Amino acid sequence: MRSRAFVFARAFVFAGALVFAIVVSVLFSLHAAGQSITDVVAQRQQHMKAMAAAVKTMAGMFKSPETYSPAGFKDAAETIRRHSATSLQADFSAVTAAQGSEASELIAAERQRFAQLSDDLERYAIAVASAASDSPGPMPEDMRMREGETVSGGPFAKRPRNAANEAPMSAEHAFHTLLGTCTSCHARYRLKE
């Protein structure tokens, strides 16, 4: 009968070999795709910056409704939609944590949860765009948060039954929900400084 130390050492060697095989596999796939780890990190950081700029654009229009531009608003929502869901998941599929990255290894360990958040981000970006008005001029009031629309609790929170909660989500409510998704993802998967 083998000692516990031998069994532990053997399991440790096996786990190390498995991690090594995964690292080699990732590096090989990156090399085959012609990308270095630095390239992957730089690309996803560009995608994140594009989404941050889009959020800033929409937030500015909510803050100063007279600056509202239907095309600019929908463009910003489309930028977030384009970089979310499968695109965001692909950005983190081969490499999660790396030098120069603020991404946590937890992304690799919680693929399904990360995928759900990135899919939610897409869903809210679509909701923001579809709730936007094509009206020229300042942002119309029907895009603003309605009385009775709840910001907290997320999309599945219990809400009192009233006309505001039976109507489709306002653009501002969808925007706040989108921001909540960003915050949830960053709180869980972004390394603390």
In order along its 193 residues, the chain shows pLDDT tens digits of 566 665 555 655 554 444 444 444 444 444 445 578 889 999 999 999 999 999 999 999 999 999 999 999 999 999 999 999 999 999 999 888 888 899 999 999 999 999 999 999 999 999 999 998 888 889 999 999 988 776 555 555 554 444 544 457 899 999 999 999 999 999 999 998 7
φ, ψ of residue 186 in degrees (nearest 5): -65, -40
For residues 26 and 55, state if they share a domain: no
Query: Residue 176 CB: number of other CB atoms within 10 A?
Result: 20
Task: Taking each helix axis as running N to C, give the angle between helix 37-63 and helix 4-32, from 0 to 180 degrees, rounded to the nearest 10.
Answer: 70
Q: Are residues 25 and 92 in the same domain?
A: no
Token pair in block for residue 160: 């009192």
* Statement to judge: residues 30 and 53 lie in one domain: no
Query: How many angstroms separate the CA atoms of 172 and 111, rounded?
Result: 29
Could you give phi then psi for residue 164, rounded to 5 degrees?
-65, -35
The tally of domains found in the chain comes to: 2
CA atoms of 126 and 1, how far apart (whole Å)? 61
Structural domain that includes position 100: 36-189
User: Whole-prediction pTM value?
Assistant: 0.74
Asked whether residue 9 falls in the same domain as residue 54, the answer is no
Residues 130 and 167 in one domain: yes
Q: Are residues 51 and 72 in the same domain?
A: yes
